[in-house]
Amino acid sequence: MLHRDLVERRRWLSERRYLHALNYCMLLPGPEAPQLATYLGWLMHGVPGGLIAGGLFLAPSVLVLLALSSVYAIWGQLPLLAAVFAVLKPAVLSIVLVAAWRLGKRTLHSPLLIGLAVAALLALALLRLPYPLVVIGAALVGVIAGRLRPALLVRGTSPSLSRPGPVGTADATAILLPPAIHDDDTPTPPHALFSRRRLAVTLLVWGLALLLPLAALTLLGGWNGTLALMARFLTRMALFSFGGAYAVLPYVAQGAVQQFGWLSADQMVDGLALGENTPGPLIMVVAFVGFMGGWTSELFDGLGSWVAALAATLTSVWFTFLPTFGFIMAGAPLVEASRDDLRLGAPLTAITAAVVGVIVSLAVFFAGPVL
309-348 residue pLDDT tens: 899 999 999 999 999 899 888 888 877 766 544 455 677 7
> What confidence tens digit (pLDDT) does each residue in 235-260 have?
988 887 766 677 778 888 888 888 88
Q: What distance separates the 2 farthest-apart alpha carbons in the chain?
A: 64
pLDDT tier, 115 (very low <50, low <70, confident <90, very high otherwise): very high
Q: How far is CA 115 from CA 127, 162, 313, 351, in A?
A: 16, 23, 38, 12
- Looking at the domain assignment, is residue 222 inside a domain? yes
In angstroms, the Cα distances linking 25 to 100, 101, 157, 174, 350 are: 21, 23, 15, 23, 17
CB 152 within 8 A of CB 348: no
Cβ contacts of 21 within 8 Å, gap of 6 or more: 13, 36, 39, 40, 43, 335
Position 343 scores a pLDDT of 53
Does 280 score more than 70 pLDDT? yes
CA distances from 98 to 103, 185, 244, 356, 363 (A): 8, 40, 15, 11, 10
Amino acid type, 229:
L
In whole angstroms, give the CA distance from residue 103 to residue 359.
9
Alpha helices in 28-165 (DSSP H): 32-75, 79-107, 111-125, 131-148
pLDDT score for 216: 94
Residue 229 and residue 198 in contact, taking contact as beta carbons nearer than 8 Å: no
Greater model confidence, 85 or 215: 215
The mean-pLDDT minimum among 74-88, 122-136, 153-167 falls in: 153-167
* Within-domain flag for 82: yes
- By CB neighbour count within 10 A (0-12 exposed, 13-18 middle, 19+ buried), where does 211 fall? exposed
As a whole number of angstroms, the distance between CA 255 and CA 287 comes to: 15
Domain count, the chain: 1
203 band by pLDDT with thresholds 50, 70 and 90 = very high
Residue 303's SS3 state is coil
Mean pLDDT score across all residues of the chain: 80
In one-letter notation, the amino acid at residue 51 is: L
pLDDT computed for residue 184 by the predictor? 67
For residue 186, the surrounding DSSP H or E stretch is: none
What string of DSSP letters covers 7-61? Answer: IIIS-SB-HHHHHHHHHHHHHSSS-HHHHHHHHHHHHHHHHHHHHHHHHHHHHHH
**359 within some domain:** yes
| pTM score | 0.71
At residue 341, the pLDDT reads 47
The pLDDT score that the predictor gives to residue 180 is: 74
Supply the range of the domain harboring residue 142.
Answer: 64-154+190-370
The answer to whether position 24 is within a domain reads no
The pLDDT, as a whole number, for residue 301 is: 52
- Cα 67 from chain centroid? 22
CB 228 within 8 A of CB 217: yes
User: Does a structural domain hold residue 365?
Assistant: yes
Q: Are 90 and 83 in contact (CB under 8 A)?
A: no
Distance CA 156, CA 101 (A): 16
Lowest mean pLDDT segment, chosen from 120-124, 170-174, 279-283, 333-337: 170-174
Residue 23's pLDDT band (boundaries 50, 70, 90)?
A: low
48-72 as b/e, with b when 16 or more CB fall inside 10 Å?
Answer: ebbbebbbebbeebbebbbebbbeb
In a domain, 170, yes or no: no
Q: What share of the chain has pLDDT > 90, as a percent?
A: 19
- The SS3 assignment for 182 reads strand
12 falls within a domain: no
Contacts of 90 (CB under 8 A, 6+ apart): 370, 371
Measured CA to CA, the distance from residue 97 to residue 281 in angstroms comes to: 18
Is there a domain that residue 10 lies in? no
pLDDT at 250: 80
Cβ proximity of 362 and 250 under 8 Å: yes
